Chain A
Amino acid sequence: MSQRHPVLTMTAISKHFPGVRALDGVDFRLFPGEVHALMGENGAGKSTLIKVLTGVYGTDAGTITLDGDQVSFAGPMQAAAAGVSTVYQEVNLCTNLSVAENIFIGREPRRFGAINWREMRRRAQEALARLDLHIDVSELLGSYSLAVQQMVAIARAVDVQARVLILDEPTSSLDADEVAQLLRIMRQLRDEGIAILFVTHFLDQVYGIADRITVLRNGRLVGEYLTAELPQLALVEKMIGKELDALEQLDSEAGRDAARAAEGTPLIEADGLGRAGAVAPFSLTIHAGEVVGMAGLLGSGRTEVARLFFGADRADKGRLVVDGKPTAIRNPIAAIDRDIAFCSENRRTEGLIGELSVRENIILAMQAARGWLRPVPRRKQDELVQRWIEALSIRPANPEMPVRNLSGGNQQKVLLARWLITEPRLLILDEPTRGIDIGAKTEIQRLVAQLSDGGMAVLFISAELEEVLRLSHKVAVMRDRQLVAQLTNDDSLDADRVMQAIASGVRQEGLEKV
């Protein structure tokens, strides 16, 4: 493969941001007809490298050549016109436009100067059919699931005659079937000769599809390897730069004492709680010190359950019982009053205030609970923020930096810190480890275990079954917006059984029916 000429070469790329050396002399090359995985922890410089390549950022030093010609794109549009298309981690499309409009925005097919809508719809349908997606292209994009939106983004990227396709964590919001479908499409595109730059945190996907792997760490190049010659453990070591026994250590803590946790009066109990159009009535109890895992496919109603517990949406059926007393939780303020905290899966839109600093984001919930007339004294703020920046190793450790400048994993930690300083009794975590590197993921998992040992109840929602199984005392399984099973996490429970419950719902024998 390497005897061919690379379609894209980046040489000695450097990029600084105020206070951060994001890239430091990084080399990268991409051959036609191969999938090249770009790996590294959060903040390693993957996204920056991509943004430099597509012209979102300029470079401080280094050159980029495409097909032997030196290039410097002024922006993603120009890059796309030259054949370098990008699908970003968080879908960057307009949900208020139709699917067809999204695919052709900026290059609409025209007839006599006016947009040819029929032609646009036809070609949009074609482009999606290539990805095996058959949906109504005149519907608003926002009416489809995130997974479909992701596919539309890829269809758009591929449709511009891309020679280089950059996929920046395309799978982080997809379920297993959709991932398989995406990988199939990637193979198909690769076989057509497109060079694919693939960024993901899922090692299985890397080993399932990538031909070559480049590893970055702290803005520096660690090396470029053929996938076949790099064992998984070696890859992880190169990514985090230290011997990796942390994960295994956590693994040995698996099979936690399930019986111990579920004693006494439940901290909170949902009794036939439900909301029309969101989630069917369900009953679920959570005890102090208990971790309840919530498994299920994307869109199965996991998030909706969390939002009802937190009062983010109002329940229209059933009731909540807190400390044995029926309690109405109509809004987040009422939930916070009952010491319930909620880290949303959408950090950017429902979690953080991008332009406020790390410090302000961390104290926001505590301050809101006190009311604006009683500000948290500055000295106490600094002390709390400093302590949590250290405890969660938030990087860069600068409390006054706008939180939007942090990488995804560090933003997640800021959000966690916001709630942890309020000392909640129930912590609801919706996909806390999504799009986060292994190091940060392990830290967050260990933190959850610690908090629960300290008596905090945790509702832990994750698409990764291993993670749910590792941490939970009890696993609640969602399917089609119903709570279909609650499984005690004893020695007999494994991923297969949970998967069966997700796949077949209540019919599975041996499952505790709800």
Chain B
Amino acid sequence: MSTVKARLAPVTGHRLFWPLVMLVVLLVANTVYRPSFLSVELKNGHLYGSLIDIVRLSAPLILVALGMSLVIATGGIDLSVGSVVAVSGAVACLYISEQPDQNSLGGVFTALALAFGIALLLGAWNGVLVAVIGIQPIIATLILMVAGRGLAQLITSGQIITINSEPYKTIGVGHLLTLPFAIIIALVVTVIVAVLTRRTALGMIIESVGGNAEASRLAGVRSRRITLLVYVVSAACAAIAGFMMTANVSSADGNAAGLWVELDAILAVVIGGTSLAGGRFFLSGTIVGALIIQTLTTSVYAMNIDPQTALLFKAVVVIAVCLIQAPAFRARFRRRKSLAPPPAPTAEKQKEQVPA
């Protein structure tokens, strides 16, 4: 018994173990409820299935959470990502809506470049407030969180801008190589962020700034630049997420686009094992965290849980995930020799399903 335990230790001790267990539990719960849940089929050269849907729908969250991971690793936080999502989506849609030919590739690319550029400026604004002026990150980004919504409203003149642009729509619902385009984008951005942080020294320097800012300064780290950079990267990720979200519905709603996404993103980062205090960050953990959150949302719809209790249900599961990850909690659990692992969120099951 103990040898089995010892042999399993490297697996169960891995920081991704519990988040992955949680993800699997959620997937199993869905499969029990609806056996066809796991099936993936090829139609017209496109892959379809609940699993694909979950990954596709979590793509924007993954993007936002990747940027958030870097910000949190420096000991900061970025509350403004939701607003950046709204602004970038609004700018892109507004520009396209004013084109004579909404389907022209050139117009769409110009719109994307313009919106992306504005998002970078917003990120730099955050970065300057935090790194140069020295405002606490939560306050500094709260400014843009509030002001950005207003800005997005201003851009859309308080209306919902609808567009009819095939190229733009592709970002959200198109396919490439049998996979939804959104998944490919998320994959590419993930690879870029991973290479940027782990193939250069950026990741280590970020962790060093987040781990001990003063010691980093005395070691010659240009921490201002690094801090500025992570807020820009965060805004860039949010902008791409904004394109995806607005392309999904071919419209920009300054009020609703990306609403509360910052909270989901922070949650994904924390579930992934990155400490809010800064320091070490784990991109793979963040992605698993984002997938858990999206799976949960999808399950709530699929299991036809009353919308009024859905948020509460989500909260309970999130608390469970966070608790089983905490070594102190597991130790207490073990000491009491209580019944086996924590409650899986499979308790309530009802028939019927609703598309996510």
Contact = CB atoms under 8 A, between A and B. Distances in A.
Given A373-B200, A375-B201, A352 B218 contact: no
A372 B220 contact: no
Given A353-B212, A373-B200, A375-B199, A344 B218 contact: yes
Contacts of B214: 349-350
B280 to A, nearest CB: 6
Contacts of A372: 200-202, 205, 226
Interface stretch (A258-266, A360-368, A503-511): A360-368
Quick one: which of B199, B207, B208, B216 has the most chain A CB within 10 A? Answer: B208
B34 interface: no
Interface in A332-356: 332-333, 336, 342, 344, 349-356
A149 B220 CA distance: 30
Contacts of A331: 217
Nearest to A365: B219
Contact of A368 (B200, B219, B279): B219
Contacts of B218: 310, 312, 332, 342, 344, 350-351
B221 interface: yes
A376 B202 CA distance: 12
A391 interface: no
A453 B116 CA distance: 57
B330 interface: no
Contacts of B211: 353-356
Given A344-B218, A371-B222, 9 more contacts: A349-B212, A349-B215, A353-B215, A355-B207, A356-B204, A364-B216, A368-B222, A372-B200, A372-B205
A372 B222 CA distance: 10
A212 interface: no
Contacts of A365: 219-220
Interface in A359-389: 360, 364-365, 367-376
Contacts of A333: 220, 222
Contacts of B200: 372-375
A418 interface: yes
B215 A351 contact: yes
A364 B219 contact: yes
30 contacts: A312-B218, A332-B218, A332-B219, A333-B220, A333-B222, A336-B220, A344-B215, A349-B215, A350-B214, A352-B215, A353-B208, A353-B216, A356-B204, A356-B207, A356-B211, A356-B279, A364-B216, A364-B219, A364-B221, A365-B219, A365-B220, A368-B221, A368-B222, A369-B220, A370-B201, A371-B201, A371-B222, A373-B202, A375-B199, A375-B200
Interface residues of B, number: 22
A490 B219 CA distance: 35
Contacts of B219: 332, 364-365, 368, 418
Interface in B236-291: 279-280
A368 B214 CA distance: 14
Interface in A78-104: none
A355 B199 CA distance: 20
Interface of B: 199-202, 204-205, 207-208, 211-212, 214-222, 226, 279-280
B201 A367 contact: yes
Quick one: which of A364, A365, A369, A374 has the most chain B CB within 10 A? Answer: A364
Contacts of A371: 201, 222
A367 B226 CA distance: 14
Contacts of A418: 219
Nearest to B198: A375
Contacts of A356: 204, 207-208, 211, 279-280
Given A350-B215, A355-B279, A367-B201, A360 B220 contact: no
Name the interface size band of chain A: 20 to 34
Contacts of A342: 218
Interface of A: 310, 312, 331-333, 336, 342, 344, 349-356, 360, 364-365, 367-376, 418
A352 B219 CA distance: 9
Contacts of B205: 367-368, 372
A289 B279 CA distance: 38
A147 B234 CA distance: 45
A53 to B, nearest CB: 21
A370 B201 CA distance: 10
A55 to B, nearest CB: 15
Given A368-B219, A368-B220, A352 B212 contact: yes
Nearest to B213: A353
A327 B341 CA distance: 64
Contacts of B201: 367, 370-376
B213 to A, nearest CB: 10
Contacts of A354: 211-212
A426 to B, nearest CB: 14
A351 B216 CA distance: 8
Contacts of A373: 200-202
Contacts of B280: 355-356
A331 B214 CA distance: 12
A336 B222 CA distance: 12
Nearest to B277: A355
User: Which 8 interchain pairs have the tightest Cβ spacing?
Assistant: A353-B211, A375-B201, A368-B220, A336-B220, A372-B202, A368-B221, A372-B201, A365-B219
A350 B219 CA distance: 9
A286 B202 CA distance: 36
Contacts of A349: 212, 214-215
Contacts of B216: 353, 364, 368
Contacts of B215: 344, 349-353
Contacts of B220: 332-333, 336, 365, 368-369
B328 to A, nearest CB: 12
A353 B221 CA distance: 12
Nearest to A403: B211
A349 B226 CA distance: 20
B215 to A, nearest CB: 5
Quick one: which of B199, B211, B212, B220 has the most chain A CB within 10 A? Answer: B220
A368 B215 CA distance: 12
B332 to A, nearest CB: 12
B302 to A, nearest CB: 40
Quick one: which of A349, A356, A372, A418 has the most chain B CB within 10 A? Answer: A372
A421 B208 CA distance: 18
A245 B86 CA distance: 72
Contacts of B222: 333, 368, 371
Nearest to A376: B201
Contacts of A368: 205, 216, 219-222
Quick one: which of A310, A332, A342, A353 has the most chain B CB within 10 A? Answer: A353
Contact of B217 (A332, A352, A374): A332
A162 B143 CA distance: 51
A9 B218 CA distance: 45
A371 B217 CA distance: 13
A459 to B, nearest CB: 15
Contacts of A352: 212, 215
A369 B217 CA distance: 11
B152 to A, nearest CB: 33
Quick one: which of B202, B207, B218 has the most chain A CB within 10 A? Answer: B218
Contacts of B226: 372
Contacts of B221: 364, 368
A333 B216 CA distance: 11
Contacts of A332: 217-220
B224 to A, nearest CB: 10
